[in-house]
Chains A and B, each alone.
Chain A
Amino acid sequence: MTARSISNGATASVKKPGKLTRLGRQWQLMIMSVPMLLYVLLFNYAPLWGWMTAFQDYTTKKGFVNSPWVGLDNFKWLFSNNDFLLSIRNTLAMSLINLVFGTVSAVLLAVLLNEVKNRKFKRTVQTVTYLPHFLSMVIVVSMAQNLFSSNGAINDLLKSLGLVKEPVFFLGKGEYFWWLVGVINVWKEVGWGTIIYIAAMTAIDPSLYEAAAIDGAGRFQRILHVTLPGIKSTFMVLLIMNIGHLMEAGFEIQYLMRNGLVMKYSDTIDVFVMIYSFGGSRPHYAYGVAAGMFKSVVGIILLLGANRIAKLLDEETLI
Chain B
Amino acid sequence: MTTTAMKKPVIKKRRDIVFPIVNTCILIILCFMTLYPVLNTVAYSFNDGLDSVKGGIGLIPRKFSTESYVALIEDPAIYKAFLISLSKTILTTLLNLFFTGMLAYALSRKEYMLRKFITMVLVFTMYINAGLIPNYLLISKTLGLKNTYWVYIIPTMFSCFNMIVIRTYIGGLPDALVESAKIDGAGDLRAYFQIILPLCLPVMATVALFVAVGAWNSWFDTYLYNGSKKDLYSMQYLLKMKLATTQNQASNAAAASSEALAAAQKSKTTPITVRSAITVVSAVPILVVYPFLQKYFVTGMALGSVKG
Residues of A whose CB lies within 8 Å of any CB of B are 19, 22-23, 26, 28-37, 39-51, 53, 60, 109, 112-113, 115-117, 121, 123-132, 134-139, 141-153, 155-156, 167, 169, 171-172, 187, 191, 195-196, 199, 216, 218-219, 244, 251-252, 256, 259, 261-262, 270, 273-274, 277, 285, 288-289, 291-293, 295-296, 299-300, 303
Contact = CB atoms under 8 A, between A and B. Distances in A.
B133 interface: yes
A23 B114 contact: yes
Contacts of B129: 44, 296
A47 B251 contact: no
B12 interface: yes
Most B Cβ at <10 Å: residue of A48, A144, A149, A156: A149
Contact of B134 (A29, A51, A216): A51
Nearest to B54: A151
Contact of A44 (B125, B283, B291): B125
Contacts of A139: 217, 236, 239, 279, 282-283
A253 B99 CA distance: 31
A50 B138 contact: yes
B3 interface: no
24 contacts: A29-B114, A32-B105, A39-B158, A40-B122, A41-B121, A46-B138, A49-B134, A116-B24, A125-B30, A130-B290, A135-B217, A135-B286, A139-B236, A142-B239, A142-B275, A144-B37, A145-B247, A151-B54, A151-B55, A169-B253, A171-B251, A187-B34, A261-B252, A274-B132
Contact of A147 (B37, B99, B192): B37
B31 A289 contact: no
B248 interface: yes
B34 A131 contact: yes
Contacts of B130: 44, 47-48, 50-51, 292, 296
B118 to A, nearest CB: 5
Given A46-B138, A149-B253, A32 B106 contact: yes
B180 interface: no
Given A41-B121, A50-B138, A138-B240, A303 B127 contact: yes
A77 B305 CA distance: 40
A53 B125 CA distance: 21
Contact of B40 (A109, A146, A155, A295): A146
Most B Cβ at <10 Å: residue of A126, A136, A155: A136
B132 A145 contact: no
Given A43-B155, A131-B290, A145-B243, A156 B55 contact: yes
Given A43-B138, A293-B131, A191 B253 contact: no
Nearest to B279: A142
Contacts of B216: 136
Given A131-B34, A143-B279, A218-B12, A112 B23 contact: yes
B55 A149 contact: yes
Interface string B268-291: 000010011011001100110011
B35 interface: yes
A80 B27 CA distance: 49
B38 interface: yes
B26 interface: yes
A134 B213 contact: yes
Given A35-B99, A187-B37, A261-B251, A142 B23 contact: no
B176 interface: no
B189 A28 contact: yes
B40 A289 contact: no
Contacts of B41: 142-143, 146
B292 to A, nearest CB: 10
B192 to A, nearest CB: 7
A53 B287 CA distance: 43
Contacts of A289: 131, 133-134
B219 A138 contact: yes
Interface in B4-59: 8, 12, 15-16, 19-20, 23-24, 26-27, 30-31, 33-38, 40-41, 44, 54-58
A203 B26 CA distance: 25
A199 B302 contact: yes
Most B Cβ at <10 Å: residue of A23, A128, A141, A146: A146
Contacts of A53: 133-134
B306 interface: yes
Instruction: Give me the 3 closest cross-chain CB pairs, A-B, nearest first.
Output: A151-B55, A292-B131, A50-B134
A259 B122 CA distance: 38
A289 B114 CA distance: 33
Most A Cβ at <10 Å: residue of B106, B216, B220: B106
B111 to A, nearest CB: 8
A295 B127 CA distance: 12
B193 to A, nearest CB: 10
B246 interface: yes
A116 B298 CA distance: 18
Interface string B227-254: 0000000001001101100111111111
B187 A28 contact: yes
Contacts of A195: 298, 301-302, 305
B246 A145 contact: yes
